[in-house]
């Protein structure tokens, strides 16, 4: 697998029509705040996963005043084109349209480390589920298919609960069907989440020690809703309350992971520095997980030079030397500081100045 | 170069805006164009071509044309048995004495009846549901033609029900729902085969379809035993 040699972005965020070529496995993107350094990283992320790391409303990804965008990338001999216009997304590989997005996911992988990641610790369970689901979808297209099916059945079940018109008996028979489908697809989700949750904590702990140089115990506990075989019973048991609240209150879509430090919740017990170390360790665990699948991810480092202290930064770069990555992209406001900091690790870094 | 492709994306929109603002010198023409462009797949440009064509025809033939359409709409009725379209009473399929009345194929809509009939491989009867279960689209069990399917089974004589519904979330939900509703009837419920298409090459089949085809594999006898038995 080769690295990203060229990217063309059209009407994506602040880019009207720009093309960038890359010759090195390490690329430093520099420029003042607001010139679009993060947007360029996100365009690369978009090519890998056909979605933005930061913005899930596609219209907000289009340049202001336009109704669509296009991102085109050349990975060695392969050409990937993502287009979004008038509410429709299309994806091309070497000029041929993919029928399903799931055919593309996992082909190119990326790991982003960005200041916003702190939300993964501080915000609700949805972000943590997305993170774990992302890991599993990248390694297993069947997981992604089960997840998408689960979400569609869930939307139908919730719509039924909201309406609750018609004959009560019909509603219950239809809810039975949805419970069965959710239990069937959900069982695989729980089973795979369980397997992953057994492996990830050791990795995170190992990286945490290396990044922070500290000896605290950190962890990641899976809070599952029920065992894979108990989902149908769980939904049946929740039926009366679901009808009362007009939505599906329990199931794999409500599960969470508790991040811990010394067995206490990380969110309230860790310092800012400890949280940053934890997040970087989580991302390194992600890279290591992808490597275990035989993949060489792209690493996208957004604004970490100003957000991480020197000690952690140098530990991180030392650890990255042992990772097998396709290419590293880093943003920094100062070309000089960037070159100085990473020179010992990436001697042939290419600088891409934006906004000049 | 990227700019050129970006321009192509949005040129289509500009053209549509232009057609939408087409100015006609006649209110009558404009109304007719509006009427035609309400049809699926007909844009205003095509609608205008049709209107101008009708304008060249003589008045009688245009009246016959519009009569045919309004008679179709006002006189058409639905088969009381299978909900297929019919000219009056039971449809042509239900009233055909040569059809096998022990086997009923359940489909979503009339278009599916036409597709399956075109294959000339099925000689049983149909049952048109008129939709698939999808609460998101406001379609629940009460919106489907289910009670007369149960009525048909109550009358007896039906041995097999084939569920020929789309392999989607809504299709599968409908299949499971109906089979639960029918579980007390002594009837065999089958579904159409899905997976790798015939003539398709495994190498070019996406891995999920392939995985499903392997999980739902069939005895090889069914490969050769394909003559029409119903
Ligand atoms: Zn009929």
Beta-carbon separation of A10 and B177 below 8 A: no
Separation of alpha carbons A340 and A320, rounded Å = 17
Query: What is the greatest pairwise CA distance in chain B?
Result: 69
Beta-carbon separation of A153 and B1 below 8 A: no
pLDDT of B11 above 60: no
CATH superfamily of A122-293: RecF/RecN/SMC, N-terminal domain (1.20.1050.90)
B1, B7, B9, B214: which to substitute to probe chain A, counting the most A Cβ within 10 Å? Answer: B9
Among A103, A166, A178, beta carbon nearest to B142: A166
Helix, strand, coil tally for chain B in percent (to 5): 50, 10, 40
Q: Verify that B184 and B101 share a domain, yes or no.
A: yes
Q: Verify that B99 and B185 share a domain, yes or no.
A: yes
What pLDDT is attached to residue B21?
58
Q: What is the mean pLDDT of residues A148-154?
A: 95
Tally of structural domains, chain B: 2
B21: CATH = 1.10.8.420
For CA atoms A271, A273, A279, A282, the dihedral sign is: negative
Contacts of A304 (CB under 8 A, 6+ apart): A113, A115, A313, A316, A330
What kind of fold does domain A1-108+295-356 have according to CATH?
A: Rossmann fold (3.40.50)
What pLDDT is attached to residue B203?
66
- The alpha-carbon gap from B41 to the nearest alpha carbon of chain A, in Å, equals 18
Residues lining ion ligand 1 (Cβ < 5 A) are: B 79, 81-82, 84, 91, 94
DSSP characters over B103-147 = EEEEESSHHHHHHHHHHT---SEEEE-SS--BGGGTB-GGGSS-H
Q: What is the mean pLDDT of residues A211-216?
A: 88
Separation of alpha carbons A207 and A212, rounded Å = 8
Q: Are the beta carbons of A243 and A236 closer than 8 angstroms?
A: no
Beta bridge partner(s), residue A351: A28
> What six digits make up the tokens of B17?
């805006």
Per-residue pLDDT tens over the stretch B84-118: 999 888 999 999 999 999 999 999 999 999 999 99
In a domain, B205, yes or no: no
Residues of chain B neighbouring A163 (CB-CB closer than 8 A): 135, 138, 140
What pLDDT is attached to residue B17?
46
Q: Verify that B132 and B187 share a domain, yes or no.
A: yes
- Residue A332 — φ and ψ, nearest 5°? -160, 145
Domain ranges of chain A: 1-108+295-356, 122-293
Calculate the average pLDDT of chain B. Answer: 83
> What six digits make up the tokens of A343?
């020179």
With a pLDDT cut of 70, the percent of chain A lying above it is 99
pLDDT of B23 above 90: no
What pLDDT is attached to residue A141?
82
Among B133, B169, B206, beta carbon nearest to A149: B169
Q: Verify that B43 and B92 share a domain, yes or no.
A: no
The separation between the first and the last C-alpha atoms of chain A, rounded to the nearest angstrom, is 32
Residue from A223, A21, A47, A213 nearest A124 by CA: A223
Q: Verify that B131 and B160 share a domain, yes or no.
A: yes
Q: Work out the pLDDT band at A205, boundaries 50, 70, 90.
A: very high
With a pLDDT cut of 90, the percent of chain A lying above it is 73
B40 touches chain A (CB under 8 A): no
Domain of B6 in residue numbering reads as: 2-75
Q: Work out the pLDDT band at B6, boundaries 50, 70, 90.
A: very low
pLDDT of A242 above 70: yes
In a domain, B203, yes or no: no
Separation of alpha carbons A270 and A208, rounded Å = 13
pLDDT of A255 above 60: yes
- The alpha-carbon gap from B180 to the nearest alpha carbon of chain A, in Å, equals 8
Per-residue pLDDT tens over the stretch A35-57: 999 999 999 999 998 999 998 88
B176 touches chain A (CB under 8 A): yes
The interface predicted TM-score of the complex, written ipTM, equals: 0.77
Among A141, A152, A170, beta carbon nearest to B207: A141
Beta-carbon separation of A181 and B176 below 8 A: yes
Sheet arrangement for strand B188-191: B125-128, B103-107, B160-163, B188-191
Q: Verify that B158 and B95 share a domain, yes or no.
A: yes
pLDDT of A1 above 60: no
Calculate the average pLDDT of chain A. Answer: 92
Q: Verify that B71 and B146 share a domain, yes or no.
A: no
What pLDDT is attached to residue B19?
52
Q: What is the mean pLDDT of residues A264-270?
A: 95
CB atoms near residue A9 (< 10 Å): 29
Alpha helices in B1-126 (DSSP H): 2-20, 27-37, 44-56, 59-75, 110-119
B75 touches chain A (CB under 8 A): no
Contacts of B110 (CB under 8 A, 6+ apart): B84, B85, B128
Sheet arrangement for strand A96-97: A15-21, A4-12, A68-75, A78-85, A88-93, A96-97
Residues of chain A neighbouring B167 (CB-CB closer than 8 A): none
pLDDT of A109 above 70: yes
In a domain, B31, yes or no: yes
- Quick check: do A1-108+295-356 and A122-293 share a fold? no
Which of A17-26, A53-62, A288-297, B219-228 comes out lowest in average pLDDT? Answer: B219-228
Q: Work out the pLDDT band at A213, boundaries 50, 70, 90.
A: confident
Q: Which stretch of DSSP H or E encloses residue A84?
A: strand A78-85
Residue from B216, B13, B163 nearest A87 by CA: B13
Q: What is the mean pLDDT of residues A139-152?
A: 90
Among B2, B172, B206, beta carbon nearest to A19: B2
B203 touches chain A (CB under 8 A): no
CB atoms near residue A248 (< 10 Å): 24
Q: Work out the pLDDT band at A148, boundaries 50, 70, 90.
A: very high
What is the reported pTM? 0.80
DSSP characters over A289-342 = HHHHTT---EEEE-SHHHHS-HHHHHHHHHHHTTS--SEEEEEES-HHHHHHHH
Beta-carbon separation of A166 and B138 below 8 A: no
In a domain, B204, yes or no: no
What pLDDT is attached to residue A169?
76
Of B56, B75, B94, which marks where a domain is finished?
B75
Beta-carbon separation of A155 and B207 below 8 A: no
Residue from A99, A101, A147 nearest B197 by CA: A99
What is the number of CB-based contacts under 8 A between chain A and chain B? 92
What pLDDT is attached to residue B4?
39
Instruction: Name the 3-class secondary structure at A36.
Output: coil
* Strand A256-261 to A350-353 pairing: unpaired
Separation of alpha carbons A84 and A66, rounded Å = 11
Per-residue pLDDT tens over the stretch A78-94: 999 999 988 888 899 88
Instruction: Name the 3-class secondary structure at A124.
Output: coil
In a domain, B94, yes or no: yes
Q: Verify that B29 and B119 share a domain, yes or no.
A: no
- Residue B157 — φ and ψ, nearest 5°? 95, -20
Contacts of B216 (CB under 8 A, 6+ apart): B194, B195
* Burial class of residue B98 in the structure, from the number of CB atoms within 10 Å of its CB (0-12 exposed, 13-18 middle, 19+ buried): exposed
B100: CATH = 3.40.1360.10
Per-residue pLDDT tens over the stretch B177-214: 999 999 999 999 998 877 766 666 666 666 667 777 77
Alpha helices in A34-114 (DSSP H): 37-49
Of B47, B75, B103, which marks where a domain is finished?
B75
Q: Work out the pLDDT band at B226, boundaries 50, 70, 90.
A: very low
Q: What does each C-alpha distance from B70 to A223, B63, B64 come to in angstroms?
A: 63, 10, 10
For CA atoms A105, A111, A116, A119, the dihedral sign is: positive
In a domain, B120, yes or no: yes
What pLDDT is attached to residue B222?
59
Among B135, B172, B208, beta carbon nearest to A102: B208
């Amino acid at each position: 697998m080769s690295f990203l040699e060229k990217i063309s972005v059209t009407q994506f965020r602040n880019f009207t029509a720009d093309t960038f070529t890359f010759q090195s496995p390490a690329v430093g993107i520099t420029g003042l705040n607001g010139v679009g350094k993060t947007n360029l990283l996100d365009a690369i992320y978009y090519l890998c996963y056909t979605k933005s790391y930061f913005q899930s409303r596609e219209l907000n990804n289009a340049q202001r005043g336009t109704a669509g965008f296009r991102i085109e990338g050349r990975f060695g001999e392969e050409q990937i084109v993502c287009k979004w216009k008038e509410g429709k997304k299309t994806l091309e590989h070497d000029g041929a349209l993919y029928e399903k997005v799931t055919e593309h996911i996992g082909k190119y992988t990326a790991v982003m480390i960005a200041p916003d990641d702190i939300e993964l610790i501080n915000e609700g369970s949805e972000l943590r589920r997305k993170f774990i689901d992302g890991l599993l979808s990248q390694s297993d297209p069947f997981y992604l298919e089960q997840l998408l099916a689960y979400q569609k059945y869930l939307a139908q079940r919730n719509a039924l609960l909201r309406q609750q018109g018609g004959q009560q008996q019909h509603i219950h028979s239809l809810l039975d069907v949805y419970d069965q489908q959710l239990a069937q697809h959900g069982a695989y989700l729980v089973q795979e989440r369980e397997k992953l949750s057994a492996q990830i904590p050791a990795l995170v702990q190992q990286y945490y020690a290396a990044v922070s140089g500290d000896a605290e115990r950190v962890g990641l506990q899976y809070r599952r809703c029920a065992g894979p075989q108990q989902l149908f019973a769980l939904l049946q048991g929740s039926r009366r309350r679901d009808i009362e609240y007009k939505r599906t209150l329990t199931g794999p879509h409500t599960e969470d992971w508790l991040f811990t430090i010394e067995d206490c919740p990380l969110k309230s017990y860790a310092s800012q520095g400890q949280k940053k170390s934890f997040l970087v360790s989580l991302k390194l665990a992600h890279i290591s997980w992808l490597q275990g699948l035989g993949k060489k991810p792209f690493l996208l480092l957004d604004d970490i030079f100003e957000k991480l202290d020197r000690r952690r930064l140098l530990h991180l770069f030392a650890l990255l030397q042992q990772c097998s990555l396709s290419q590293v992209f880093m943003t920094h406001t100062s070309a000089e500081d960037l070159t100085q900091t990473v020179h010992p690790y990436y001697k042939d870094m290419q600088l891409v100045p934006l906004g000049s | 170069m990227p700019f050129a492709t970006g321009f192509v994306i949005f040129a289509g929109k500009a053209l549509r805006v232009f057609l939408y603002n087409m100015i006609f010198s006649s209110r009558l023409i404009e109304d007719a164009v509006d009427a035609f462009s309400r049809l699926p797949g007909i844009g205003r440009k095509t609608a205008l071509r049709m209107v101008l064509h009708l304008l060249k025809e003589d008045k009688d033939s245009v009246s016959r044309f519009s009569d045919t359409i309004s008679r179709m709409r006002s006189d058409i009725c639905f088969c009381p048995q299978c909900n297929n379209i019919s000219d009056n009473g039971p449809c042509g399929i239900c009233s055909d004495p040569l059809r096998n009345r022990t086997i009923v194929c359940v489909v979503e809509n009339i278009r599916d009846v036409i597709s399956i009939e075109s294959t000339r491989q099925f000689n049983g009867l149909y049952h048109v549901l008129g939709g698939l279960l999808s609460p998101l689209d406001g379609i629940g069990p009460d919106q489907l033609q289910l009670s007369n399917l149960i009525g048909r089974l109550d009358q007896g004589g039906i041995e097999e029900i084939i569920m020929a519904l789309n392999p989607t979330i809504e299709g599968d939900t409908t299949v499971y729902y109906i089979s639960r509703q029918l579980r007390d009837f002594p009837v065999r419920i089958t579904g159409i085969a899905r997976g790798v298409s015939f003539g398709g090459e495994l190498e070019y089949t996406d891995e999920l379809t392939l995985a499903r085809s392997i999980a739902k594999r069939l005895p090889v006898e069914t490969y050769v035993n394909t003559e029409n038995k119903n």
